Structure 1
């Protein structure tokens, strides 16, 4: 009797598996992120949130759910490796400390849930939330997404930013000392840095962010202390640095990435290439700089600086991952639309569209440590899939025309219906 029951259960499970409805996408044009090329007439078979099979003639059933994207350009879900979803400052009037005083963590979390949905709806299925989110507001946004209360991208999360005394503040009077600890952790020795890493991990961090060069410069040993501590838990360290000694120490300390790197010289960019350290350049356009309060002359000069650094990094071969860093929305534009203005800088630097797409997909996934499960469309990878109306290899701005979004096999947006 027992053998008969076991056989019956095995038969039922097998039958359910065979008859399970898959989702099949007919992709007229398909971006092969590994090789940076478009393939034609590919069929993607999706089962249980992952890609089961892909090719020109895979097997599928009449009972499967068919999505016809024959006239679209199908891409892996995009990734932004430097976002601040809970922050939003006034146009041309940056006042971080005012935001600390007037906006609670719960309010910041509500904003974060709205902005997270904007990213997902516009094709960004993964983001790296890099800090400045009050008292761990994004940790609750992530919980809400995982519980299915709201929709949002996969979020790689930094927690509070670890920095020398003062965070990134300036001019705080002594009566309000430590006001910045709403968003930063002061850590001035290797032991303090290790403790800060552990505190962030306790509160849900999956990446560690440090700041150096704003209020004090970390030594290479300080960076290494964070890297070694984070490595115990299989997570990475990325560091905000402009250039000079601060950036040199980050490179020597073995961080996974440098955020911004506006003043990096060629020697530093070459060292980053040699060590496999990523640049997340946050390459603001003129409009972004102007929105942050710069006058037109300064905004032009800063944008020209970024175009030059971006050209040099690409020529040298420094690994790069796409990041935006926008906390000021442009007039009449939402967060993602404002963020994508940085594409103007990439175009001005004459970076090929195929490479830009790779920095937003496979290369971003490598930096984030998720390249075995996301960033490309291949068998066994999560079905994070988007479609746009025009060929982004002809003009990278075409990624603004997203009309289909799938995250882990779930359809988030389908304007074809």
Structure 2
């Protein structure tokens, strides 16, 4: 086509008033996640999967599709930074070894498809799948979502968990050594850690997860080896620490992006995390979650109190936090997302403001996941991951359970 013909066509299109059809959302209440405030009477113009414009009294075309959410509370899509979509253990009978023996990678993948859709339908448009998914089951789920075969959230994926010898297993006899290879990569030196990072990336990982303090403690140099190797590929490292305080300090000093769990972090460590910019993904189990995992009432009460205290201290100190749940045991009568959201009981018990909790689910989570220039706020050029609630989540964070509209990358997934 010659330049003259191209110019003529452009003139014709202009004369006819050609207009690429947009979707216009009228938001009665609009959560500004950057500032943690709810605004009124905003409009969002969506074009080709992204937000074209946000504001009041915007110019629209008669050909635009209008979605009226004037009576709803509109938010960026929510994010959960610690999930296991392919795993599900029996209520009050947690035994991972049976899952390894009885469930194939393909069966785990099928479960993952179902749970991923539950997340999306309930407003979680991005999740971080943190491992324990057999032989890279989630990698194929991600491919299927991208091909349009199934619906699911954007998935940031860890692959197999890198850990000292034995992963997180206990009591495996020597005749079944490496039984844990189904979900873990043994790595006991910096060179082994680097190799494990590369193997995960080869198999589709977009974040690296390590475990320390279970069957061995990684020192600062070990953590740094993973961080430096992952950085070559633009990836971050997040590390599971639980009840060992020394290992948590090594993680912080080693430059990891986040600590997962960290139930027994003391104030000195939380302040160090603040200074270093290390996120806490607290997986703040409620009493109901601990009980579902098999604890008796007394122990579940003790642990929920411990987590509430740590969460309260982290907020007061100003440690960066991103929302994460870590549920692999569904509460009876509830699906995975409903079971996850029991953790809100802990956030409420810790008296964390609802606006901040929403930020941990949106803009904070996006920063941790490295997608802060693409998702987490409703602004121009960001992906149109948009949800709407029936009730006001600032008044009560439990309102995030009232999702009635979900859009992912400009495509309407749910509209009640």
Is this a same-fold pair by TM over 0.5? yes
TM-score w.r.t. the length of structure 1 is: 0.98
What CA distance in whole angstroms lies between the structure 2 residues aligned with 1:152 and 1:249? 35
* Structure 2 counterpart of 1:194: 194
Q: Offset at 1:62?
A: 1.2
> 1:57 Cα shift?
1.4
Tell me, in whole angstroms, the C-alpha distance in 1 between the residues paired with 2:115 and 2:16. Answer: 39
For residue 71 of structure 1, give the secondary structure of its aligned residue in structure 2: strand
Aligned match of 1:51: 51
Give the match for residue 129 of structure 1.
129
**Cα shift at 1:19:** 1.2
Cα separation, 2, equivalents of 1:312 and 1:281? 12
Instruction: Give how far 1:360 is off.
Output: 0.2
Q: Aligned equivalents of 1:251 and 1:45: distance in 2? A: 41
1: CA distance, partners of 2:42 / 2:67: 12
* Aligned equivalents of 1:29, 1:216: Cα separation in 2: 49
The residue number in structure 2 matching 1:368 is 369
2: CA distance, partners of 1:146 / 1:270: 40
Superposed CA deviations along residues 139-164 of structure 1, whole A, max 9, x for unmatched, are 00000000000000000000000000
The CA deviation at 1:18 is 4.5
Provide the rounded CA distance (Å) in 1 between the counterparts of 2:17 and 2:121: 31
Tell whether 2:114 aligns with 1:114.
Answer: yes
CA distance in 2, matches of 1:364, 1:27: 23
Runs of 4+, deviation exceeding 6 Å: 12-17
Q: In the superposition, relative to structure 1, how do residues 14 and 333 fare at CA in structure 2: closer, same or farther (>3 Å)? A: farther
Change (3 A) 1:271 1:13: farther
Alignment of 1:13-412 (within 5 A): 18-242=18-242, 243-412=244-413
Distance in 2 separating the partners of 1:220 and 1:18:
60
Q: CA deviation at 1:14?
A: 6.6
Cα offsets for 1:204-247 (capped at 9, x unmatched):
00000000000000010000000000000011000001241110
What secondary structure does 2:228 align onto?
Answer: helix
Following TM superposition, by how much is the alpha carbon of 1:59 offset from its aligned partner in structure 2, in angstroms? 1.2
Q: In structure 1, list runs of 5 or more residues that go unmatched.
A: none
Classify the secondary structure of the residue corresponding to 1:283. Answer: coil
RMSD: 1.3
Give 1:5 shift: 2.5
The alignment status of 1:6 with 2:18, answered yes or no, reads no
**1:11 Cα deviation from its structure 2 partner:** 4.7
Deviation for aligned residue 1:6: 2.9
- Give the Cα separation in 1 of the matches to 2:76 and 2:252: 30
CA displacement at 1:13 relative to structure 2: 7.4
Residues 88-134 of structure 1: per-residue CA shift (max 9 Å, x gap): 00000011011001100000001000000000000000000000000
Report the alpha carbon displacement of residue 2 of structure 1 after superposing the two structures with TM.
2.8
- Structure 1 residues 15 and 322, CA gap change in structure 2 (3 angstroms): farther
Distance 2:246 2:95 in 1: 28
Number of residue pairs aligned between Structure 1 and Structure 2: 415
Taking a change above 3 Å as real, the CA distance of residues 5 and 281 of structure 1, as seen in their structure-2 partners, is same
Q: So what's the TM-score if we normalise by structure 2?
A: 0.98
Distance between the aligned counterparts of 1:51 and 1:40, measured in 2? Answer: 18
Partner Cα distance (1:216, 1:99) in 2: 24
The Cα offsets for residues 181-211 of structure 1, whole Å up to 9 and x where unpaired, read as: 0000000000000000000000000000000
Secondary structure at the counterpart of residue 390 of structure 1: coil
